[in-house]
């Protein structure tokens, strides 16, 4: 007998700022961690010495399941950031979300079922990263992080391992937002969003739903911003 998959319904924005951070979690960090773990398993001695509890393969697989759990419109945005996409390539289930006046288009929100165990697995590696950059780790993880940061820095510039880890945390943070009453209001408002017959191409929020939207998106914006100054207006309205 196997354990039943545990799922948690969350609300995620079709927002390029957040999706760029989420996509950036895998490369280079999780991808290189997985390669290092596989090298250790194969007996390669030319590898980074990482904490024994850090399973790079398992963490990358957990991230992959989170990515696959995203609705098609979010996966499409995440893999096509900064690319111009013809209307004929519009993914199934994409819709437009509007303020009560029907004029202002908001960033669309999508109900998503994720496994909280996958979130916890990725969050655990974030704890390892933070311990390493604080100098409290006694393996080569801090050196690994600095090397990854240097490899991905602009030519002639030293990489910023702290910023890289902070970006990783910001990408994860939207998946870890506390479930508050505004989420329930919005889940009901966009319940029909997604692929399938009868899925709406346009949803106009009622005034109470608009209040919930503004509250929720303030929390999203704060999570995406992290410790950096950020303009909340970027997340109030659709990117395109």
Instruction: Describe the strand order of the beta sheet including 202-204 as a list of residue ranges.
Output: 105-106, 96-98, 202-204
- What digits encode the pLDDT tens for the residues 9-63? 999 999 999 999 999 999 999 999 999 999 999 998 889 999 988 999 999 999 9
Nearest to 189 by CA among 108, 113, 101, 115: 108
* Residue 27: DSSP 8-state: I
Separation of alpha carbons 149 and 154, rounded Å: 10
Q: For residue 90, is the peptide bond before it cis, meaning its omega torsion is within 30 degrees of 0?
A: no
Global confidence as pTM: 0.90
Helix boundaries (H) for the chain: 16-24, 31-41, 56-69, 72-79, 116-133, 141-151, 161-173, 181-189, 207-225
- The pLDDT score that the predictor gives to residue 146 is 96
Cβ neighbours, 10 Å, residue 1: 3
- The pair phi, psi for residue 128, each rounded to 5°, is -60, -45
Local confidence band at 86 (pLDDT 50, 70, 90 cut-offs) = low
- What digits encode the pLDDT tens for the residues 94-138? 899 999 998 899 999 999 999 999 999 999 999 999 999 999 999
């Amino acid at each position: 007998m196997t354990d039943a998959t545990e799922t948690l319904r969350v609300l995620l924005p079709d927002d390029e700022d957040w999706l760029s951070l989420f996509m950036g979690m895998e490369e280079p960090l999780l991808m290189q961690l997985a390669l290092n773990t596989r090298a250790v398993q194969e007996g390669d001695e030319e590898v980074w010495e990482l904490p024994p509890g850090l399973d790079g393969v398992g963490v990358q697989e957990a991230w992959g399941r989170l990515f696959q759990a995203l609705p098609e419109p979010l996966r499409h945005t995440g893999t096509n950031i900064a690319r111009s996409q013809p209307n004929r390539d519009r993914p199934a289930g994409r819709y437009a979300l509007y303020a009560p006046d029907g004029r202002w288009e908001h960033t669309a929100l999508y109900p998503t079922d994720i496994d909280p165990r996958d979130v916890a697995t990725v969050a655990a590696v974030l704890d390892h990263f933070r311990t390493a950059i604080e100098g409290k780790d006694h393996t080569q993880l801090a050196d690994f992080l600095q090397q990854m940061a240097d490899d991905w820095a602009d030519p002639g510039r030293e990489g910023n391992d702290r910023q890289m880890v902070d970006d990783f945390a910001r990408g994860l943070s939207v998946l870890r937002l506390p479930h508050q009453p505004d989420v329930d209001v919005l889940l009901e408002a966009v319940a029909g969003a997604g692929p399938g017959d009868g899925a709406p191409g346009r949803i106009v929020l009622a005034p109470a739903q608009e209040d919930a939207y503004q509250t929720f998106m303030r929390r999203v914006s704060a999570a995406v911003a992290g410790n950096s100054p950020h303009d909340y207006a970027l997340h109030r309205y659709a990117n395109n």
